[in-house]
A = this chain, B = another copy of it.
Amino acid sequence: KVTEEVLFFPDDRVACKDYFVGEDGCNNNDCRFTHFPNSLSRLYEFINGAKGRLDVCVFVICCIDLADLLIAAHKRHVLVRVISDGEQTEITGSQIWNLRKAGIAVRTNKSSFLMHHKFVVIDDQLLLNGSFNWTRQAISGNQENLMALGNKRIVSLYTNEFERLWNAFDPQ
C-alpha cells in the first residue's frame, strides 16, 4: 500500500528520539520527552527507515535530534545528501557544520534568493514535503504541515528537482 500520511505540527511535547528509534530504546527514568507517538516521532521513524538513500532539501536545519538521525543513517552507509540555504547555514544553531564534520556532503545556494524547499526523498520512494523546517520552533510552536507520499510519479518529480539543484550547487 502506498504511503499517504499528513503530519501537523506543533506537537504538545517533544518526542523522545531514543524511545522511538534508538537501538536500545530510552533508558532514562526521568525522561523529559514524550513516549506517546506524535508528528515528530513519525518523522523520526520515516528518516530512520532509510535503507539506501536520503536526499534532504531543507531551508533550515537546526534540530539536533533530526540532524543526528542523518548522521546515524550516514554511519550505517545510507547515502545521505543535503541541500540547504546558504545564508541559513550561518545562523546560530545550524547543524550544517555538524553534518559536514560527520562526513555528509552538503551543498548550498550562493545567491541572495532562498533555497526555500523543505522536502526529503527517502530511498527514491517516499517524499516528505510541506512547510516544515527542521527547527525546534517548527516542532513545538508553529502551525506546520508535512506530507508523506509514496506516489511514484510525484516522488520522481522531486528526485529530479533534487538532482538538478545538487548539480547546480556543485561547489566545483
Contact = CB atoms under 8 A, between A and B. Distances in A.
A154 interface: yes
Interface in A109-148: 109, 111, 113-119, 129-131, 137-138, 141-145, 147
A166 B45 CA distance: 31
Interface of A: 4, 6, 8, 10, 59, 109, 111, 113-119, 129-131, 137-138, 141-145, 147, 151, 153-154, 157-158, 161, 165
Contact of A4 (B59, B138, B151, B158): B151
Copies in the complex: 2
A137 B161 contact: no
8 contacts: A4-B153, A4-B154, A113-B142, A114-B141, A117-B143, A129-B129, A130-B130, A145-B161
Contacts of A118: 131
Given A8-B161, A129-B130, A131-B59, A142 B154 contact: no
A129 B116 contact: no
A47 B116 CA distance: 22
